[in-house]
Amino acid sequence: DTAVSQTPKYLVTQMGNDKSIKCEQNLGHDTMYWYKQDSKKFLKIMFSYNNKELIINETVPNRFSPKSPDKAHLNLHINSLELGDSAVYFCASSQARLPSTDTQYFGPGTRLTVL
């Protein structure tokens, strides 16, 4: 049973294209996240949603648009892809928003390569 799943696992595309990454969690968690891991392995938060509501947006270009149809799903749509968008994108989820420091569980990651 996969707790946090992402599709696709690999994504290779040309500059200028639009692409989406899907994320689903079956843990019953209220909060979901997108993180980006760059080529130096550094991980940084991009977005956080709680019960379909955006609560964190960390200075991400507006070409990136998260969408949460329900609290179990958080998708990431990227417009006009650029070379610098090449990275591994991780989805994660955790139980609660406030006032906890709940553990975040990560999906397997999506490796995006922009040519």
Partner 1 sequence: AQKITQTQPGMFVQEKEAVTLDCTYDTSDQSYGLFWYKQPSSGEMIFLIYQGSYDEQNATEGRYSLNFQKARKSANLVISASQLGDSAMYFCASTRPGFQKLVFGTGTRLLVSP
Binding site for partner 1 (CB under 8 A): 31, 33, 35, 40-45, 48, 50, 55-56, 58, 88, 90, 92, 94, 97-109, 111
Query: CA-to-CA distance for 28 and 64, rounded, in angstroms?
Result: 25
CA angle 108/85/42 to nearest 5° reads 60
What is the smallest separation between the CB atom of 73 and partner 1, expressed in angstroms?
18
C-beta of residue 46 within 8 angstroms of C-beta of residue 88: no
Nearer to partner 1, 19 or 30 (CB): 30
**What is the nearest approach in angstroms of partner 1 to the Cβ of residue 101?**
3
d(CA 9, CA 98): 31
Q: Least distance to partner 1 from the beta carbon of 67, Å?
A: 19
For the chain, give the longest Cα–Cα distance: 42
Toward partner 1, which CB reaches closer, 67 or 88?
Answer: 88
